[in-house]
């Protein structure tokens, strides 16, 4: 199986690729599964097919948009169903691992440590960052290249008292999560030789070549993931325990509607209240305000510590498709604000451009996963 962090090397050195001209990215979330199949044609990356399937319907009495915790058997059934519905043909897959099951951090280690000793030093140094026994996680790491032009060198020297160090990006992933996702793929008849933490898929699919720090705000169903990235390096990662399902639940309580009715209202109207439901927007705003407050705290902490400004905020995930999101976000942030449009990284029929732009944020991870192998 490939190292989970193997593809990070491509951010710096352009490594990667595959002989198979079709690759499938599989994003198994808490409320839905998204799949994307890309193919290589004459040096171009082309969208072959894509699909999404809500997981709530696999729970007895469940609804679209609800957060689930399905068994391996039910997740397998859902994965097989969405692959069939999307007419996916390739078994050359990259499987996404949720960031919520990972701890991501950077170690500063003395440069005199030899590469052969890293497998001993890194686990020992990582204990202070990991709140569970090391036996419960899988550690992966990548020694980051020195980039004097990024400004990181001056910052690292300042924080280490001018001691020369090497930066090592470390990811600790819960073994239970890895085992569950691998089990699902194998039971679905798929080989599992490539895994990737979703935060790195986001970097690949929603960023271009920004030379300044960028905040990626991934509004998922149960949680919002905040990632600050500079020169392809994850500088900070933070979880907010609110997501798009909280918006639906707030609408349901405020307007005394069923979950299903509230979910439909949210998708159709978002932050724009229809005449018959004048309190709709306020219910959504309350939830977004909490997310924005946490986002601002992460931004201010980063800017204060490193004396750098966040140049852009990219909203992605299903919650980023909320109508009126950017207009409301402008009241909270001074940075450039954009909604992720990952389908611009691939070629697709012109008649699909409107649909793909609208649904793009929901497929950011799946597209990034597929791009890992095919670029």
Show the DSSP H helices in the chain as ranges: 9-13, 72-85, 118-126, 152-159, 175-187, 198-206, 244-255, 259-269, 280-306, 325-329, 353-359, 364-374
Share of the chain above pLDDT 70, in %: 89
Give pLDDT, residue 193: 85
The pLDDT score that the predictor gives to residue 25 is: 97
Q: At what angle do helices 259-269 and 244-255 cross, to 10 degrees?
A: 110
CA distance 331 to 354: 27
How high is the pLDDT of residue 57?
92
- What's the confidence (pLDDT) of residue 7? 47
- For residue 151, pLDDT over 70 is answered with no
Q: What value does the mean pLDDT of the chain take?
A: 89
In the prediction, which pLDDT does 275 show? Answer: 94
pLDDT value of residue 225: 96
| Closest by Cα among 227, 178, 181, 176 to 201 | 227
- pLDDT band at residue 13, thresholds of 50, 70 and 90? very low
**Domains and their CATH numbers in the chain:** 211-339 (3.30.420.40)
> CA distances (Å), 139 to each of 4, 122, 200, in order?
9, 9, 16
Write down the pLDDT at residue 165.
Answer: 80
Whether 148 has a pLDDT exceeding 80, the answer reads no
Q: Say whether pLDDT at 149 is over 50.
A: no
Summarised one tens digit per residue, pLDDT across range 211-262 is 899 999 999 999 999 999 998 889 889 999 999 999 999 999 999 999 999 9
Residue pLDDT, tens place only, 38-94: 999 988 999 999 999 999 999 888 899 999 999 999 999 999 999 999 999 899 999
Tell me the per-residue pLDDT of 332-345, one tens digit each, with 9 for 90 and over.
Answer: 999 999 999 999 99
Output the pLDDT for position 109. Answer: 92
pLDDT, residue 9, reads: 45
Report, as an integer, the average pLDDT of 359-370.
96
Q: Is the pLDDT of residue 370 over 50?
A: yes
End-to-end CA distance of the chain: 19
Lowest mean pLDDT among 153-157, 178-182, 278-282, 308-312: 153-157
- For the cut 80, the answer to whether the pLDDT of residue 188 exceeds it is yes
């Amino acid at each position: 199986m490939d190292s989970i962090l193997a593809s990070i090397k491509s951010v710096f050195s352009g490594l990667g690729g595959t002989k198979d001209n079709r690759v499938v990215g599989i994003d198994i979330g808490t409320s839905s599964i998204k799949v994307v199949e890309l193919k290589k044609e004459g040096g171009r990356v082309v969208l072959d097919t894509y699909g999404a399937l809500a997981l709530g319907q696999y729970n007895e009495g469940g609804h679209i948009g609800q957060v689930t915790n399905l068994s391996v058997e039910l997740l397998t059934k859902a994965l097989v169903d969405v692959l069939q519905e999307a007419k996916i043909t390739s078994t050359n897959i990259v499987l996404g691992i949720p960031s919520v099951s990972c701890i991501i951090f950077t170690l500063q280690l003395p440069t005199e440590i030899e590469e052969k000793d890293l497998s001993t030093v890194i686990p020992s140094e990582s204990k202070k960052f990991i709140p569970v026994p090391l036996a419960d996680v899988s550690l992966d790491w990548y020694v980051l290249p020195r980039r004097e032009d990024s400004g990181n060198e001056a910052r690292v020297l300042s924080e280490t008292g001018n001691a020369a160090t090497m930066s090592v990006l470390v990811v600790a992933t819960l073994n239970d999560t890895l085992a569950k996702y691998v089990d699902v793929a194998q039971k679905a008849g798929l080989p599992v030789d490539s895994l990737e933490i979703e935060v790195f898929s986001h970097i690949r699919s929603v960023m271009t070549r920004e030379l300044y720090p960028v905040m990626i705000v991934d509004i998922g169903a149960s949680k919002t993931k905040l990632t600050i990235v500079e020169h392809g390096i994850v500088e900070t990662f933070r979880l907010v325990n609110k997501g798009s399902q909280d918006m639906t639940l707030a609408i349901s309580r405020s307007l005394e509607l069923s979950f299903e009715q509230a979910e439909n209202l949210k998708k159709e109207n978002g932050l724009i209240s229809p005449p018959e439901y004048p309190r709709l927007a306020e219910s959504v705003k309350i939830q977004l305000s909490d997310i924005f407050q946490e986002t601002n705290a992460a931004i201010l902490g980063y800017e204060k510590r490193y004396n750098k400004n966040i140049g852009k905020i990219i909203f992605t995930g299903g919650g980023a498709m909320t109508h009126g999101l950017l207009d409301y976000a402008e009241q909270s942030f001074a940075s450039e604000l954009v909604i992720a449009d990952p389908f611009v990284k691939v070629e697709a029929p012109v008649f699909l451009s409107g649909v793909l732009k609208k649904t793009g944020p929901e497929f950011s991870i799946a597209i990034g996963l597929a791009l890992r192998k095919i670029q």
